[in-house]
Amino acid sequence: MDYNSLRKISKVRSIFTSYCRFYSAQQLKKKLPIISCKRPEFNHFEGQTYSKFEGVKLASQGWLHRKSKGDYFIIHGNANKKEVENVYKKSFEEIGVKDDLIQVMSDQGITLPTAIQAKAIPSILNGHNTVVTAETGCGKTLAYLLPIFQHILEWKQHIPEEFNSPLAVVITPSRELANQITEVAQSIAEQLNVNVTGLIGGRTKQKMLDPPIEYCDMLITTLGAYSKLVTTGIYKVHNVHHVVLDEADTLLDDSFIGKLSNLLKKFSIQYKVEITTPPHGCQVTLVSATMPHELPESVSSFVSPDSLKTVTTSNIHRIMPHVPQKFLRLGKAQKPGELLKLVQADVNQNRPVMVFSNQTSTCDFVSMFLNENNIECININGQMAVPLKLGKFDMFRSGKVNVLSCTDIASRGLDTLRTQHIINYDFPLYTADYIHRCGRTGRIGSPENCTVTNFIAWPREIQMVQKIETAVRKHSELPNVNANIKRLIDDRIARMVDRGIVSSVA
């Protein structure tokens, strides 16, 4: 083959390659983007890949530069995906739920189990120690309440009633979550012959001096209050055949694990409970929206890790596919003005909004700033006195107030079906916190058109955003989903000491 022929072939190949690239670009433009940006050249579409040598191109790549203020990108999730054909869903009956409970669910407008319920309920009914990990707002609470109620209905006929001697205990890290689960459980129990009691801290000493005396089949409680009343013998554990750790990743954090481990050693947790009437031993269920891939070694102090059966969904540790999330690069001084503009628009449209801050002082500032600008806002934070905090979340949930300023104490497990907008005034510094905050909206039963808006101002926030954007563009799990925040902070301080950034740790 002569030189001219080779040149013609090379030219044809070049034209063909250019045409293919042009055609692919045109096809991408016809689709809705998964990520849309202020600069369209950084838009990301379904099926789009990145060269190994060039790396992933990020809209947030230059956000460390001061001139990047005002830039933004929006993650639309699965906005461009085709409609998925309806797939066969198992019924409550098929997964082993009895008729009386099916009727209760039907009366509440629930006719079919969610994906996580269809997986978790059979495992729990069969006596397995189970780890239930699934995205926020997908029905995890009912995934463990229904099988426990079914067990209690069977056990009650064979176990004599005793005061303060529950058959099942649900332990949570916060009062607000305990109150919420109690409401859900009582709405089911009122149609059954089951007694549900809620126990929270705040008046524990008074309860020790004047102990409650009541029949209780299911106890829903906070860790601190329950451990004290068990230690003093006010609540008995010998009839407890099921323990649930709701928001288990938080309870397994170094901040709680010592107290939790000492408490759970009092229960005869088995490798697998044989479902007899009455049963022998105690079963444990761990529930959370975020869970480390490897559970901490401390779990082995109260349960055999090999006995834990994990059930999960495909969306775990990923961006919610149905809620648009806007990332807005701002300067520190721009945040109050942008907040006022967004919240005022929400108030005008009667859209309930939660504003998250990283620190109590910022949470208080947001509340005062909005109230000074004639927007009624209440706040919740972990340092608030119990009498002040009790009932505030109920004000928001009931619709008395539509704007809530809060720290991460309101991010875990709370079922806020009214919330249509989440604003991260401070962007969280840990992936698990971001997942939980966003999970306060877009839940089962929430209104349509829920959104999340993130303010990005500081270098560490930018680094976290870049990790999230990279994961979405690569269609992978979010990185470092580890809820043991105390250990992460301790490790970070230790590294700073090693580098000489700080001289000592208080």
User: What's the mean pLDDT in 57-83?
Assistant: 83
| Contact assessment for residue 118 and residue 95, using Cβ atoms and an 8 Å cutoff | yes
User: What's the mean pLDDT in 10-37?
Assistant: 63
pLDDT at 301 over 90: no
Least confident of 158-172, 308-322, 400-414, 484-498: 484-498
User: What's the mean pLDDT in 103-132?
Assistant: 94
User: What's the mean pLDDT in 67-80?
Assistant: 84
pLDDT digits (tens, 9 = 90+) for 28-52: 455 788 999 999 999 999 888 888 7
Amino acid 496: pLDDT: 46
| Contact assessment for residue 204 and residue 228, using Cβ atoms and an 8 Å cutoff | yes
Burial category of 367 from C-beta neighbours within 10 Å (exposed 0-12, middle 13-18, buried 19 and up): buried
* 100 contact partners, CB below 8 Å, separation of at least 6: 153, 192
pLDDT at 222 over 80: yes
User: What's the mean pLDDT in 91-98?
Assistant: 95
| Residues across the chain | 506
Highest mean pLDDT among 160-174, 316-330, 491-505: 160-174
Fold classification of 99-312 (topology level): Rossmann fold (3.40.50)
What residue spans of 134-247 are helical by DSSP H? 140-155, 175-189, 204-209, 223-231
User: What's the mean pLDDT in 68-96?
Assistant: 77
Going from N- to C-terminal start, the domains of the chain cover 99-312, 325-495
3-state helix/strand/coil string of 90-137: CCCCCCCCCHHHHHHHHHCCCCCCCHHHHHHHHHHHCCEEEEEECCCC
| Contact assessment for residue 484 and residue 290, using Cβ atoms and an 8 Å cutoff | no
pLDDT digits (tens, 9 = 90+) for 194-215: 999 999 876 666 767 677 788 9
Amino acid 483: pLDDT: 52
With 0.85 as the threshold, say if the pTM is over it: no
Better-predicted residue by pLDDT, 498 or 358: 358
Per CATH, the homologous superfamily of domain 325-495 is P-loop containing nucleotide triphosphate hydrolases (3.40.50.300)
pLDDT at 83 over 50: no
Cα–Cα distance measured from residue 402 to residue 375, given in angstroms and rounded to the nearest whole number: 9
